[in-house]
């Protein structure tokens, strides 16, 4: 190759810059040839490949086929839908009944063996887990577990026929892992202090790994699940007068005979119909003065979400916020947002900001930004500004634009204008208008009008107004154009 470059140089009778460039390339090729002949590159590649292959071989022996940065990034509903014979879940509490409840019922009815292990709400280990997550609210985990048990109770009230196939038991021990498993596929995570299981990294484990390996991760997890399930202190669950109770008798589990599940939402609507705003106010005051009634309201919020009825669920969340009891529903709201119900980003973020949990609020708001929720965009921009991270604001606005938020588009254009990048703002508007976003066209015509191209901009606005575009008509009126 080196000789070929020399011959090419002489053939072209190269001089000056061209000759210098050819000489430079010849030098680089010579160095590469010497590097290859010395074998250094081969040795490095072989060492890297051997190391990587060793890691992969160890993973395969353990049954590890992948990992995920957080459990919440996995679509657990799709994961569980793939189950054929069995589903096993163990955690302090599942935290995902909104998305999984009806799927678990469906799989149980199809003959799938569904078993779930959660912590006993009144155990010392529940208190310790709560302390790990939030030292100033050590009983929060106990309340969350009790709430989920009551949510299970409502689930079985609607589907009493699945109790033999969908079994839930409560254990009294330190949780050794968090696991969502279907057949021989398991998603396994650890329970770290200060990190909710949904926000922690997890491993995906399939099969038993190397048969010669006695302690593959899959075998360890399965054995641990069975050990806890069969422990004499692991009991069946029922709910009496809104409080979780535990029993050794499986026939007593989730006994809902005679229980009355009144609808708080129906009571509020009836009070409003009969007494107007005053009647509604009295009904809300009655809820606030009765902690049990607040709990029932939270459970109905969960039930409406599980039944895919978000419109009614929003009304319940609004009622809780109106009486300053939204904090009682924080777990349900977080689960709802994780399930994709962006309608509740505002409720949850306001609650977190009010409590001073800026880090949690930022995570919630970023979920809303990705869905184009303008409240989330506005509050996140404000939060970033208050913490001096102005350089992140533009990225948030661009994410909002990508998600389809017109308000984010207006704010991004304004930011670009103020930073002397108006041509870039024009390009973004032209691109969005080409994609069929009329609001971008409105902004473009106003900019054209202000830049002196009035005939063109007014002509376009009149054309849109004749098509029934109320926004275009409003712009013409503001410009005082007939």
Q: Do both 92 and 188 map to the same domain?
A: yes
State the Cα–Cα distance between residues 396 and 382, nearest whole angstrom: 11
- The mean predicted confidence, pLDDT, of the chain is 83
- Greatest mean pLDDT range, 92-101, 333-342, 468-477: 468-477
Can you give the pTM of this predicted structure?
0.64
Q: Do both 188 and 334 map to the same domain?
A: no
Q: Do both 109 and 24 map to the same domain?
A: no
pLDDT at residue number 87 = 96
State the Cα–Cα distance between residues 383 and 381, nearest whole angstrom: 5
* Band (251; pLDDT cuts 50, 70, 90): confident
Domain that holds residue 10: 2-56
The residue to which tokens 């657990």 are assigned: 76
* Band (105; pLDDT cuts 50, 70, 90): very high
Asked if residue 39 has pLDDT above 60, the reply is no
Over residues 380-397, mean pLDDT: 87
Compute the CA torsion angle 100, 101, 104, 106 (nearest 10 deg). -110
Which of these, 186, 216, 202, lies nearest to 61 by C-alpha position? 216
Asked if residue 94 has pLDDT above 90, the reply is no
- Which of 201, 217, 252 corresponds to the end of one domain? 252
State the Cα–Cα distance between residues 96 and 305, nearest whole angstrom: 11
pLDDT at residue number 175 = 87
> Comparing 243 with 325, which gets the higher pLDDT?
325
Q: Do both 195 and 247 map to the same domain?
A: yes
Within-domain flag for 178: yes
| 478: its two tokens | 């503001």
State the Cα–Cα distance between residues 156 and 43, nearest whole angstrom: 63
Instruction: Give the DSSP letter of residue 190.
Output: -
* Band (49; pLDDT cuts 50, 70, 90): low
State the Cα–Cα distance between residues 239 and 428, nearest whole angstrom: 57
pLDDT at residue number 32 = 63
State the Cα–Cα distance between residues 333 and 335, nearest whole angstrom: 5
pLDDT at residue number 118 = 92
Q: Do both 330 and 208 map to the same domain?
A: no
| 295: its two tokens | 């709990």
The residue to which tokens 């060492």 are assigned: 47
pLDDT at residue number 22 = 59
Asked if residue 53 has pLDDT above 80, the reply is no
Judged by average pLDDT, the poorest of 81-90, 174-183, 208-217, 230-239 is: 208-217
Strands 178-182 and 235-240: unpaired
Q: Do both 115 and 183 map to the same domain?
A: yes
State the Cα–Cα distance between residues 397 and 408, nearest whole angstrom: 5
CB-based contact 96:76 (threshold 8 Å): yes
Q: Phi, psi (5° rounding) for residue 87?
A: -130, 130
Strand order from edge to edge, sheet including 64-68 = 64-68, 202-206, 185-189, 178-182, 86-90, 113-119, 166-171, 235-240, 243-247
The H-or-E segment that residue 376 falls in is helix 374-386
Instruction: Give the DSSP letter of residue 342.
Output: G
- Which of 284, 314, 340 corresponds to the end of one domain? 340
Asked if residue 25 has pLDDT above 70, the reply is no
State the Cα–Cα distance between residues 369 and 377, nearest whole angstrom: 5
pLDDT at residue number 477 = 84
Within-domain flag for 480: no
Within-domain flag for 323: yes
pLDDT at residue number 168 = 93
pLDDT tens profile 424-482: 999 999 999 899 888 888 998 888 888 888 888 888 888 888 888 888 888 888 876 65
Q: Do both 199 and 327 map to the same domain?
A: no
Query: Among positive and negative, which fits the CA dihedral 100, 101, 105, 111?
Result: positive
pLDDT at residue number 210 = 77
Number of Cβ within 10 Å of residue 41's Cβ equals 12
> Which CATH number is 167's domain given?
3.30.870.10
Cβ neighbors of 282 (< 8 A, separation 6 or more) are 271, 275
- Which of 271, 306, 340 corresponds to the end of one domain? 340
The residue to which tokens 């000789």 are assigned: 3
Within-domain flag for 78: yes
Q: Do both 47 and 168 map to the same domain?
A: no
Q: Do both 286 and 320 map to the same domain?
A: yes
Cβ neighbors of 379 (< 8 A, separation 6 or more) are 349, 353, 361, 365
Cβ neighbors of 293 (< 8 A, separation 6 or more) are 264, 286, 287
| 43: its two tokens | 């040795």
Q: Do both 122 and 199 map to the same domain?
A: yes
Number of Cβ within 10 Å of residue 417's Cβ equals 14
| 51: its two tokens | 């190391």
pLDDT tens profile 193-208: 888 888 899 999 998 8
Asked if residue 72 has pLDDT above 60, the reply is yes
* Band (88; pLDDT cuts 50, 70, 90): very high
Which ranges in 14-123 belong to alpha helices (H)? 16-38, 40-62, 76-81, 97-109
Within-domain flag for 33: yes
Within-domain flag for 229: yes
Q: Is 178 helix (H, G, I), strand (E, B) or coil?
A: strand
Asked if residue 179 has pLDDT above 90, the reply is yes
Query: Number of folded domains in the chain?
Result: 3
Asked if residue 257 has pLDDT above 70, the reply is no
> Comparing 298 with 233, which gets the higher pLDDT?
233
Asked if residue 12 has pLDDT above 80, the reply is no
* Band (156; pLDDT cuts 50, 70, 90): confident
> Comparing 171 with 391, which gets the higher pLDDT?
171
Within-domain flag for 194: yes
Q: Is 188 helix (H, G, I), strand (E, B) or coil?
A: strand
Q: Is 200 helix (H, G, I), strand (E, B) or coil?
A: coil
Q: Do both 78 and 28 map to the same domain?
A: no
Q: Do both 227 and 202 map to the same domain?
A: yes
Within-domain flag for 122: yes
State the Cα–Cα distance between residues 87 and 306, nearest whole angstrom: 19
């Amino acid at each position: 190759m080196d000789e070929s470059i020399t011959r090419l140089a002489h053939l072209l009778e190269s001089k000056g810059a061209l000759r210098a460039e050819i000489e430079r390339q010849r030098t680089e090729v010579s160095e590469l040839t010497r590097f290859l002949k010395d074998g250094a590159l081969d040795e490095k590649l072989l060492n890297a490949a051997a190391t990587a292959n060793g890691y992969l071989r160890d993973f395969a022996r353990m049954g590890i086929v992948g990992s995920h940065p957080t459990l919440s990034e996995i679509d657990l509903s799709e994961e569980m839908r793939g189950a054929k014979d069995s589903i096993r879940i163990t955690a302090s509490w599942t935290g995902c009944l909104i998305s999984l409840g009806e799927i678990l019922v469906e799989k149980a009815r199809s003959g799938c063996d569904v078993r779930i292990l959660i912590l006993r709400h009144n155990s010392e280990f529940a208190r310790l887990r709560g302390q790990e997550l939030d030292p100033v609210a050590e009983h929060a985990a106990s309340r969350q577990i009790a709430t989920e048990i009551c949510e299970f109770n409502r689930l079985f009230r609607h589907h009493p026929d699945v109790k033999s196939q969908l079994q839930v038991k409560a254990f009294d021990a330190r949780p050794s892992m968090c696991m969502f498993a279907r057949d021989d596929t398991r998603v396994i995570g650890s329970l770290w202090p200060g990190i909710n299981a949904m926000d922690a990294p997890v491993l995906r484990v399939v099969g038993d790994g190397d048969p010669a390996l006695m302690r593959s991760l899959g075998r360890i997890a399965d054995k641990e699940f069975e050990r806890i399930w069969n422990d004499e202190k692991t009991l069946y669950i029922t709910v009496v007068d809104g409080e979780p109770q535990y029993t050794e008798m499986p026939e007593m589990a989730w006994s809902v005979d005679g229980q009355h599940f009144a609808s708080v939402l129906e009571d509020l609507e009836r009070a409003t119909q009969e007494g107007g705003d005053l009647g509604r106010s009295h009904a809300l005051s009655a809820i606030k003065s009765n902690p049990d009634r607040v709990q029932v309201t939270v459970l109905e919020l969960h039930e409406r979400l599980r039944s895919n009825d978000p419109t009614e669920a929003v009304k319940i969340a609004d009622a809780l916020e109106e009486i300053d009891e939204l904090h009682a529903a924080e777990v349900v709201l977080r689960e709802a947002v994780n399930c994709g119900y962006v309608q509740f980003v505002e409720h949850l973020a306001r609650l977190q900001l009010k409590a001073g949990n800026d880090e949690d609020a930022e995570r919630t708001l970023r979920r809303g930004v990705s869905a184009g929720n303008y409240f989330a965009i506005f509050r996140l921009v404000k939060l970033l500004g208050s913490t001096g991270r102005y350089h992140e604001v533009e990225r948030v606005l661009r994410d909002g634009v990508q998600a389809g938020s017109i308000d984010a588009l207006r704010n991004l254009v304004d930011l670009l204008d103020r930073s002397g990048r108006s041509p870039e703002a024009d390009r973004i508007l032209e691109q969005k208008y080409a994609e069929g976003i009329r609001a971008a066209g409105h902004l473009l015509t106003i900019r054209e009008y202000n830049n002196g191209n009035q005939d063109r901009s007014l002509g376009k606005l009149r054309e849109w107004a004749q098509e029934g575009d109320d926004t275009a008509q409003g712009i013409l009126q503001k410009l005082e154009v007939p």
